[in-house]
Amino acid sequence: GVLRSKGFCWLASRHDDANLWSQAGCSITLSPEGNWWAAVPQDDWPDDEADREEVLRDFIAPYGDRRQEMVFIGIDMDQAVIESALLGCLLTDEEMALGPDGWAALEDPFPVPPPYDDQSADEFIGSGVS
């Protein structure tokens, strides 16, 4: 089975927020990691051209760098079962057609994090979602 998984998640109900998924054994956390670059005004992007190119490397229209990017480590993992579970988490074609405004109205089962620059963000990140 899966021993460890980690990666970035794009939640439809939190269109601009990058989230980090981390699982080890039965411990699972989902924590805010700031905004996707696509949600950040370009004036606030890095000034260095090489750094800007790195930001753009992951951009795919029309959603920029928003993505699901996860790694699974384990023994005798059933890839088909894992893929099926992950595909079940994705929006349906009908939900996808709603766009960002419609997605914001979708039920969000996760706790609302404090503002990212707030001191309590560290406490929220440390607590994770179990």
Domain locations in the chain as residue ranges: 2-127
Whose CA is closest to 2, among 110, 86, 89?
86
pLDDT digits (tens, 9 = 90+) for 73-121: 999 999 999 999 999 999 999 999 999 999 999 998 888 766 665 554 4
Q: Please give the pLDDT value at position 81.
A: 97
- Angle 91-41-115 (CA atoms, 0-180°, nearest 5)? 70
Tokens of 124: 């929220």
Q: Please give the pLDDT value at position 2.
A: 96
Peptide bond into 62 cis (omega under 30): yes
- 0.75 surpassed by pTM: yes
Place of tokens 């439809």: 12
CA-CA distance, 126 to 130, in Å (whole number)? 11
